[in-house]
Amino acid sequence: MHAEPDYHELGLRVGIEVHQQLNTQHKLFCRCPVTLREKEDSCMKFSRFLRATKSELGEEDAAAREEMARSRKFTYRFYDSTCLVEADEEPPGELNREALMIALEIALLLNMNVVQEVHTMRKIVVDGSNTTGFQRTALIAMDGYVDVEGERIGIDTLCLEEEAAQKIGEMEGGIEYSLDRLGIPLVEIGTTPEIKTPQQAKAVAETIGMILRSTEKIKRGLGTIRQDVNVSIRDGARVEIKGVQELELLDKIVKNEVIRQINLLKIRDRLRERKAEVVKEIFDVTEIFHKTESKILRKNLKKGGIFAILLKGFSGIVGEEIVPGRRLGTEFADIARMFGLGGIFHTDELPGYGISSDEIEKLREQVGAEKNDCVVMAGGETSRVISALKRIIDRAEYALMGVPEETRRALDDGTTAYLRPLPGAARMYPETDVPPVRITEEMIENIKLPELIEDRIERFMKTYGLNRDLATLIGRSGKHALFEELVKDGHQPSLVIRTLEMLPSEIEREGYRTSNLRDDHFRMIFKLLKDGKIAKEGIEEILKKFCENPELSLEEIEQELGGAGLDELERFIRDLVNQKSALIEERGKGAFSPLMGLVMKEFRGKIDGKTISEILMTEIEKFLEKK
Ligand SMILES: [Zn+2]
């Protein structure tokens, strides 16, 4: 494991972009619901190729240019819950007001300045995740801040955007997307790049997440919040890492990126010492492999040919580890995969893959490789191989300069893979189909700001005497208001938390459908408890009954409990008193304890012990008076 680098010394700068889906009724520019679907439910599919769009200034974006070179076919799944807006067959409707109001609320919580007029823009999106070839985005607010562990971190911008379509499959030369997610409202919150350590990056993301959850107007669950991280060190480059879903990985990803940039700079220095050079020629080496034993190459040959490039002075460096499990060769392979190829071969890892030493000898000879040189080779459909190798030549040349500015994607192990060049500033232009919206003072004044979750946790500790764990459990829960309602009704705070939070997760593990439980179920349970009709030991059983049948009424629940109502109790006690009259005559009120034991044996968990003892005592007294 690498030791912790000195981030201050390295001049580390990190900025975070948080993307959070909003829980609105409708999508951002149409009336479709924001529900996600199973792909099997899709009623239709259609395909498109990406159209090249230039910005208003006529500039072409580097990321867009690369995507076009990749010439992939995009297939989209359409549902009965999507419409012609998602398919780009109909212009968008007006900006969703509900989403706008939530975005404004979040802006105020982040101490930001709200714009006077919201203008929807088009941001070029090149990966097919949008049927239009662009994503609609609107700047809502600027220049805010959050306080995190005693330091103030700037919030640059808050934008309201449409969520992209979800990728559901990838095959050679194409990608399949699902349109259900396209158009769900999303806020994008960007911090200034003044975060100085990986740990601080994680803490800032956690705080922003807490503020977003405090609104209770956001979508929850996997994939509903994603972080992008911008990382740079002195002499390195700005690298944007997309799609961090696990907050737990954020610090590891930043640290790995720092190590990657440090090692790329070391590689640059060594290549310069060796006077390394990238030959800008693509060699057709198909002939050499006509009779190859390599299964992969034989497969490649069927599709087209085998081509190679020469990296002078790169020997040993292409195969060297940069971060755990990743090498310069892995970066080349990422690029090849982007062009729909299976990967690459390089001489640092050969012989291997069934390629013989004799073939390698011939390969080196044909491209004119010397001892210190590395040969990189790829096979498949000729035009794809040529495009990919051109990009690999660019990437290899960049190794001589240092760290390329680029967009990468987060991997599950905390490393990252090449995704595309960093998009330029040339990618935004106005969306003329959506009218601008004025933000009035009245709109701002009508926003009622929620209590922040972290403030609520402190308040619960102080007001209800909870420890931090319990206060956090209920303070973060969607049932915090119900908790306060029940506690104000006289119930014990720890019992309420146990009933609202812990018992449901326990019985869920036993297979009960706790998603059926509603606030009213809990209110009924606490009413039964208050009326002495159940004991707290009986709560679990009733929760299970509500899971099985959420429509049960209070009366039905009482019957379900085996008729263990007060009537039955009184009858049981009167019979018992008659049966044991001898005992009572002998001991008087002293007969209470043995009789109580007998009643509890029958009614434990069904009726509260205090109620039982009161009734029993009354009946004993009545019996004694009658005598
Ligand atoms: Zn729609």
Q: What is the mean pLDDT of residues 353-360?
A: 91
Amino acid (one-letter) located at 478: G
Domain that holds residue 267: 7-37+45-50+61-271
When pLDDT is cut at 50, 70 and 90, the band that residue 581 belongs to is confident
For residue 182, how far is its CA from the centre of ligand 1 (angstroms)? 9
Please identify, among 228, 253, 271, the residue that sits at the C-terminal boundary of a domain. 271
204 Cβ contact partners less than 8 Å away, ≥ 6 residues apart:
16, 146, 148, 153, 191, 195
Helix (H/G/I), strand (E/B), else coil: 283: strand
Q: Work out the mean pLDDT of the chain and round it to a whole number.
A: 90
When pLDDT is cut at 50, 70 and 90, the band that residue 537 belongs to is confident
Whether the CB-CB separation of 231 and 254 falls below 8 Å is answered with: yes
For residue 18, how far is its CA from the centre of ligand 1 (angstroms)? 25
For residue 184, how far is its CA from the centre of ligand 1 (angstroms)? 9
Residues 261 and 293 in one domain: no
Helix (H/G/I), strand (E/B), else coil: 32: coil
Please identify, among 221, 247, 271, the residue that sits at the C-terminal boundary of a domain. 271
Whether the CB-CB separation of 306 and 297 falls below 8 Å is answered with: yes
For residue 70, how far is its CA from the centre of ligand 1 (angstroms)? 29
Residue 439 is assigned to a structural domain of this protein: no
More confident of the two residues 221 and 241:
241
Helix and strand counts by DSSP (H, E) for the chain: 22, 24
Residues 394 and 481 in one domain: no
Q: What confidence score (pLDDT) does residue 431 get?
A: 92
For residue 352, how far is its CA from the centre of ligand 1 (angstroms)? 51
User: Which residues on neighbouring strands pair with residue 312, listed in sequence order?
Assistant: 277
CA distance 254 to 236: 14
Q: What confidence score (pLDDT) does residue 85 get?
A: 93
For residue 434, how far is its CA from the centre of ligand 1 (angstroms)? 15
Residues 610 and 527 in one domain: no
Please determine, for residue 459, whether its predicted confidence score (pLDDT) is greater than 80: yes
For residue 77, how far is its CA from the centre of ligand 1 (angstroms)? 13
Please determine, for residue 152, whether its predicted confidence score (pLDDT) is greater than 80: yes
Q: Is residue 227 packed enough to be buried (19+ CB in 10 Å), middle (13-18) or exposed (0-12)?
A: buried
For residue 285, how far is its CA from the centre of ligand 1 (angstroms)? 51
Residue 610 is assigned to a structural domain of this protein: yes
The total number of residues shown for the chain amounts to: 627
Please determine, for residue 562, whether its predicted confidence score (pLDDT) is greater than 60: no
When pLDDT is cut at 50, 70 and 90, the band that residue 40 belongs to is confident
Q: What confidence score (pLDDT) does residue 67 get?
A: 67
Please determine, for residue 274, whether its predicted confidence score (pLDDT) is greater than 90: yes
Backbone φ and ψ for 394, nearest 5 degrees, come out as: -55, -45
Q: What confidence score (pLDDT) does residue 426 get?
A: 59
For residue 34, how far is its CA from the centre of ligand 1 (angstroms)? 9
Residues 313 and 264 in one domain: no
Whether the CB-CB separation of 142 and 190 falls below 8 Å is answered with: no
Please identify, among 357, 383, 399, the residue that sits at the C-terminal boundary of a domain. 399
Residues 261 and 304 in one domain: no
Residue 590 is assigned to a structural domain of this protein: yes
Pick from 605, 496, 498, 601: nearest CA to 542: 605
For residue 256, how far is its CA from the centre of ligand 1 (angstroms)? 40
Residues 549 and 583 in one domain: no
Residues 539 and 604 in one domain: no
For residue 137, how far is its CA from the centre of ligand 1 (angstroms)? 17
Q: What is the mean pLDDT of residues 151-163?
A: 97
For residue 87, how far is its CA from the centre of ligand 1 (angstroms)? 8
Helix (H) or strand (E) holding 374: strand 374-380
Name the token pair of 104.
């404004």
Whether the CB-CB separation of 388 and 336 falls below 8 Å is answered with: yes
Q: What is the mean pLDDT of residues 414-442?
A: 87
Please determine, for residue 543, whether its predicted confidence score (pLDDT) is greater than 60: yes
Residues 255 and 132 in one domain: yes
Q: What confidence score (pLDDT) does residue 351 get?
A: 84
Residue 435 is assigned to a structural domain of this protein: no
CA distance 608 to 531: 9
Q: What confidence score (pLDDT) does residue 313 get?
A: 96
611 Cβ contact partners less than 8 Å away, ≥ 6 residues apart:
532, 566, 569
Helix (H) or strand (E) holding 539: helix 539-548
For residue 93, how far is its CA from the centre of ligand 1 (angstroms)? 9
Residues 457 and 549 in one domain: yes
Which of 6-20, 167-181, 544-558 tops mean pLDDT? 6-20
Of 57-66, 129-138, 267-276, 352-361, minimum mean pLDDT range: 57-66
Residues 322 and 367 in one domain: yes
For residue 30, how far is its CA from the centre of ligand 1 (angstroms)? 5
Amino acid (one-letter) located at 437: V
Name the token pair of 272.
């310069």
Helix (H) or strand (E) holding 406: strand 406-410
User: Which residues on neighbouring strands pair with residue 157, listed in sequence order?
Assistant: 142, 190
Q: DSSP letters along 321-342, please?
A: EEETTEEHHHHHHHHHHHTT--
Backbone φ and ψ for 286, nearest 5 degrees, come out as: -55, -45
Backbone φ and ψ for 290, nearest 5 degrees, come out as: -55, -35
Residue 180 is assigned to a structural domain of this protein: yes
For residue 165, how far is its CA from the centre of ligand 1 (angstroms)? 12
For residue 576, how far is its CA from the centre of ligand 1 (angstroms)? 69
**pTM of the shown model:** 0.82
CA distance 285 to 592: 100
When pLDDT is cut at 50, 70 and 90, the band that residue 433 belongs to is very high
Which of 48-57, 68-77, 384-393, 536-545 tops mean pLDDT? 384-393
Residue 419 is assigned to a structural domain of this protein: no
Whether the CB-CB separation of 308 and 287 falls below 8 Å is answered with: no
Residue 138 is assigned to a structural domain of this protein: yes
CB under 8 Å, gap of 24 or more: what pairs does 198-202 form? 198/7, 198/14, 198/250, 198/251, 198/252, 198/253, 198/254, 198/255, 198/258, 199/251, 200/14, 200/148, 200/149, 200/151, 200/153, 201/14, 201/16, 201/229, 201/250, 201/251, 201/254, 202/247, 202/250, 202/251
For residue 26, how far is its CA from the centre of ligand 1 (angstroms)? 8
Which of 66-75, 558-567, 606-615 tops mean pLDDT? 606-615
Whether the CB-CB separation of 432 and 91 falls below 8 Å is answered with: no
Phi/psi region, residue 90 (left: phi>0; alpha: psi -120 to 50; beta: rest), is beta
Q: What confidence score (pLDDT) does residue 200 get?
A: 97
For residue 439, how far is its CA from the centre of ligand 1 (angstroms)? 25
Q: What confidence score (pLDDT) does residue 600 get?
A: 87
Q: For 588-600, write each residue's pLDDT tens digit.
A: 888 898 999 888 8
Q: What is the mean pLDDT of residues 601-615?
A: 81
For residue 181, how far is its CA from the centre of ligand 1 (angstroms)? 10
Whether the CB-CB separation of 403 and 236 falls below 8 Å is answered with: yes
For residue 121, how far is its CA from the centre of ligand 1 (angstroms)? 19
Question: Which position has the token pair 């990238």?
Answer: 278
Please determine, for residue 1, whether its predicted confidence score (pLDDT) is greater than 80: no
358 Cβ contact partners less than 8 Å away, ≥ 6 residues apart:
none
Structural domain total, the chain: 4
Residue 581 is assigned to a structural domain of this protein: yes
Whether the CB-CB separation of 92 and 434 falls below 8 Å is answered with: yes
Name the token pair of 265.
């700079």
When pLDDT is cut at 50, 70 and 90, the band that residue 2 belongs to is low
> Could you tell me the CA-to-CA distances from 418 to 82, 201, 257 in Å, in that order?
32, 22, 12
For residue 27, how far is its CA from the centre of ligand 1 (angstroms)? 7
Q: What is the mean pLDDT of residues 178-188?
A: 96
CA distance 244 to 584: 73
Cβ atoms within 10 A of the Cβ of 562, count? Answer: 9
Whether the CB-CB separation of 557 and 524 falls below 8 Å is answered with: yes
Residues 475 and 459 in one domain: yes
Please determine, for residue 328, whether its predicted confidence score (pLDDT) is greater than 60: yes
Pick from 165, 236, 222, 188: nearest CA to 7: 236
Q: DSSP letters along 345-362, please?
A: EEGGG-SBTTB-HHHHHH
CA distance 112 to 89: 36
Q: For 47-99, write each residue's pLDDT tens digit.
A: 887 655 555 555 566 666 666 666 678 999 999 999 999 999 999 999 999 99
Q: Is residue 254 packed enough to be buried (19+ CB in 10 Å), middle (13-18) or exposed (0-12)?
A: buried
For residue 24, how far is its CA from the centre of ligand 1 (angstroms)? 14
Amino acid (one-letter) located at 200: Q
Kindly give the interhelix angle for 519-530 and 539-548, rounded to the nearest 10 degrees: 150
Please state whether the peptide bond connecting residue 351 to the residue before it is cis, i.e. omega within 30 degrees of 0. yes
Q: What is the mean pLDDT of residues 473-477?
A: 95
Pick from 315, 296, 321, 314: nearest CA to 306: 296
Residues 306 and 377 in one domain: yes
Q: What is the mean pLDDT of residues 158-178?
A: 90
User: Which residues on neighbouring strands pair with residue 78, listed in sequence order?
Assistant: 44
For residue 607, how far is its CA from the centre of ligand 1 (angstroms)? 54
